[in-house]
Amino acid sequence: AQSVTQLDSQVPVFEEAPVELRCNYSSSVSVYLFWYVQYPNQGLQLLLKYLSGSTLVKGINGFEAEFNKSQTSFHLRKPSVHISDTAEYFCAVSKTGANNLFFGTGTRLTVIP
Amino acid sequence: DVKVTQSSRYLVKRTGEKVFLECVQDMDHENMFWYRQDPGLGLRLIYFSYDVKMKEKGDIPEGYSVSREKKERFSLILESASTNQTSMYLCASRTGTGMTDTQYFGPGTRLTVL
């Protein structure tokens, strides 16, 4: 069975500073990996996904993530955050060929002016 | 743009009431999902449907049922609401038969059971 661990429940960071949100997964088979963002009072929106190929994936709003198979990680990064990046971020995993996603518990990113 | 709408943003019900949460998508997606979101627990899958009248249990189906009579509509039913079902409920839809396609989420329904 898949599981997803987001190591930090809350991450405060100053505006224009870099940020890394950590995600580790466990699975004995090949997986697809996703990062979703939830802005206040909204549903989830896809930031980026890794399916295959290049391990560095670029998403919307300047975010990127790197798939590391040996460390079973898929950390999300942004070199310079903006106030508008304040949101909750969810990492998710799906086994290839499966029909549903398994979500982590979320990381609340707060950007401080 | 894909649009997933949920019938209510906020709902307050009493213990024992029958509750219907409605979700509609406008992109002819085959797959639809119901999650509940709780602080510190992330999103947990309640039920999903891969076709009209077809459904499968997710991780936490107890106390819930679903209905999918039309492709665009997926309903979540709480037969007898309890206080531990107070939560945010999120609907999602996705096309295709594999996970390469994106799940699109509705804005959520915050349900309070008193």
Query: What is the full per-residue pLDDT of chain B (114 aa) written as tens digits?
Result: 668 999 999 999 999 999 999 999 998 999 999 999 998 899 999 999 999 999 999 999 999 999 999 999 999 999 999 999 999 999 999 887 665 678 899 999 999 999
Q: Name the DSSP letter for residue A72.
A: T
Picking from B31, B42, B102, the nearest residue to A103 by CB comes out as B42
Q: H helices then E strands: how many in chain A?
A: 0, 12
Residue A47: is its pLDDT beyond 90? yes
How many CB pairs (< 8 A) connect A and B? 57
In this structure, of A22-31, A52-61, A82-91, B105-114, the range with the lowest mean pLDDT score is: A22-31
Per-residue confidence (pLDDT) for residue A49, from 0 to 100: 92
Instruction: Tell if the CB–CB gap between B48 and A101 is shorter than 8 Å.
Output: no
In whole angstroms, what is the distance from residue B92 CA to residue B42 CA? 15
Helix (H, G, I), strand (E, B) or coil at A50: strand
Per-residue confidence (pLDDT) for residue A52, from 0 to 100: 84
Closest-approach residue (CA) in chain A for B30: A99
Q: Say which residues have a Cβ less than 8 Å from residue B38's Cβ, sequence separation at least 6.
A: B44, B87, B88
Picking from A43, A46, A103, the nearest residue to B102 by CB comes out as A46
What average pLDDT does range A76-86 have in this prediction?
Answer: 97
The b-or-e profile of B91-107 (16+ CB within 10 A means b, else e) is bbbbeeeebeebbbbbe
Residue A2: is its pLDDT beyond 70? no
Between residues B87 and A43, the one the model is more confident about: B87
Q: Is A10 on the interface with B (CB under 8 A)?
A: no
Between residues A76 and A69, the one the model is more confident about: A76
Picking from B41, B97, B99, the nearest residue to A32 by CB comes out as B99
Name the A residues in 47-86 with CB < 8 Å from any B CB.
Answer: 49, 51
Residues in chain B: 114
Per-residue confidence (pLDDT) for residue B109, from 0 to 100: 96
Per-residue confidence (pLDDT) for residue A97, from 0 to 100: 63
Mutate to test the interface with A, among B99, B100, B105 (most CBs of A within 10 A): B99
Instruction: Tell if the CB–CB gap between A104 and B42 is shorter than 8 Å.
Output: yes
Per-residue confidence (pLDDT) for residue A101, from 0 to 100: 85
